[in-house]
Every structure is written in structure tokens, then in C-alpha cells.
Amino acid sequence: MSANPFLDPALVRGRLYRGDGRLADRTHALHRAKISGSDVADTIADLLAARVPTAADVLDIGCGRGTTTLRLADRLRPKHLAAVDASAALLHTTRGRLADAGALGSGVQADFHHLPLPDSAADAAVAAFCLYHSPTPDKAMAEIARCLRPGGTAVLVTKSLDSYAELDHLVHAAGLDPHATSRPSLYESFHSDNLRTVTASHLTVLDVQHEEHVFRFADATHLARYLTTTPKYRITLTGGIAAVTATLQQRLAPPPYTTRSTVSYAVAVRP
């Protein structure tokens, strides 16, 4: 079992993504807290729109619940849009959201190290907030490059190693996890500092951009809703959100609670 839950295959296949509830709750809590930073799906669509031809073939690798997939469908109007994820539950959600929006797209259940796609199948590929689940992201990058046509564009997105580090100290101070400040970053395998190097292992990097996102949790309940969805900490307290909320209220200074994350984008092409 890996010390980093994002690199533990059993956890990734099981508790983390067997259903879509945990990811939905985590995303909702973060979006409610966000006070600064661009919409990531919009930024990805903007980066691709200037480079991708009309009627393109587009891949959204590690599509999750399909937020970026929907934005790509709307902005790029691709000839074919394939949403790829290892989780059947997340793909089911993405397919449903595409259908509800009247958008065309297909779902492919696959490990991004072994994409069931032919060589040179796509004009563009996105891999956002997913490659840090790989202990060997350069191998996943090789698959992305293989699936792109020569001159095809990839947008890769990740976070900094110290993302949400302020929460480590809050969790430690509240006694919810005495080792919170020493646990490895969830993003240790693919992060803002190695994004360019890993991408350049198989693609030609055109640009790398970094943007700070700031989050403010308005009260202890809001923070507890986020903390109970993140796999980084070992919170053994029973009683769920209510118990975590009570502990935060008793042991921390009054809210709000602010944290930060750097979101990084690489734009690259297949030579």
C-alpha cells in the first residue's frame, strides 16, 4: 500500500472512484470555497480553441465527472469527442451529462497507460488532474503522444506540491490527524515543478502557465465537508461531518479558513 493514496491502485479502483459521490462532494466543497482563480475547464478550452481545427477528433483523458468534456463539446464542436476514464462510475456520469446537454461524445473505459486507441487518432488531447495517479507519468505521456497526430496539441493540467498545505496545519492543530503535516503531497508524481520535464519526455512543450487559486471556507461545517472527502488525511473520528465540524469548532480559531493551490497548464504538440 502506497503512503500516497493517489498512487495506491487498490484505493483508486475502490473507495476513491468506485462511485462518483466522493469526487462530486469534494468538487462542490472546493467550488463553494473558491474566491480567486480562473475556471479550469474554460482555460483548457481557451488554450485548445486557438490551435485545434474545426471538426477535430478530441480526447479527454481522465475525464472524471465530465466537466471539461462538456466544455470541450460546447467550445470546440469536435467531429468526435472521446471521454476516457478508468472508472465506470465516472464515465457513467459523464455520459449522462453529455446526453442531458445534447452533446455528442463517447465514453471509453481505459487505463491511461494503455489506451485502446490507434496511433495518430486525435487532433487534440486533454489530461487534467489525473496523471498524478500514475507512479510513471512519463509512460502515460507516451500513450498520449502516440494517440496524437503529428502536430496535434495536448493540454496537461496539474497542481503544485504544496497545494492546500494550510489545511495540513489546521488538521494537525485540530488533532484530527497528528501526521497531517508530514504526509506526502497527493500530487508528488506529477506536479507544477516537473510538469514541463515530464511533458517534454514525449512532446514538444510550447508553453507552461501557473495560476494561484485561493479558497476560503466560510465556517467549520464547510471545511468539514471538504476534509471528509480528501483521502490525504487519516481521520479516524467517528460521526462524519458533524463530528469533524464539532472538533474544528472546539480546537481552531474562528473561521474563515483560507488555503491555496497553484494550477499549472502545459501546452504541447506531437512533433
pLDDT of residue 242: 97
pLDDT of residue 2: 73
Q: State yes or no: pLDDT of 90 exceeds 60.
A: yes
Handedness of CA 229, 230, 235, 241 (dihedral sign): negative
pLDDT of residue 104: 87
C-alpha separations of 117 from 1, 7, 20, 25, 122 in Å: 31, 24, 25, 32, 9
- 154-192 pLDDT tens trace: 999 999 999 999 999 999 999 999 999 999 999 999 999
pLDDT of residue 91: 97
- Report helix angle 21-33 to 220-227, nearest 10: 140
- 17-37 pLDDT tens trace: 999 999 999 999 999 999 999
72-95: average pLDDT:
97
Confidence of residue 194 (pLDDT cuts 50, 70, 90): very high
pLDDT of residue 66: 97
96-107: average pLDDT:
94
Q: Which residues, listed in sequence order, are joined to residue 124 by a DSSP beta bridge?
A: 58, 153
pLDDT of residue 184: 97
Query: pLDDT higher for 2 or 151?
Result: 151
52-59: average pLDDT:
93
pLDDT of residue 182: 97
Q: How far apart are CA 176 and CA 170, in angstroms?
A: 9
pLDDT of residue 187: 98
What residue type is 232 in one-letter code? K
pLDDT of residue 139: 98
What's the chain's average pLDDT? 96
Q: How far apart are CA 191 and CA 188, in angstroms?
A: 6
Per residue, the 3-state secondary structure of 216-240, as one string, reads EECCHHHHHHHHCCCCCCCCCCCCH
Cell numbers placing 240: 462524519
Q: State yes or no: pLDDT of 1 exceeds 80.
A: no
- Percent of the chain scored above 90 by pLDDT? 97
110-129: average pLDDT:
97
- 242-256 pLDDT tens trace: 999 999 999 999 999
pLDDT of residue 53: 86
- 228-240 pLDDT tens trace: 999 999 999 999 9
Q: Report all structural domains of the chain as residue ranges with CATH numbers, in order of start.
A: 5-163+184-217+259-269 (3.40.50.150)
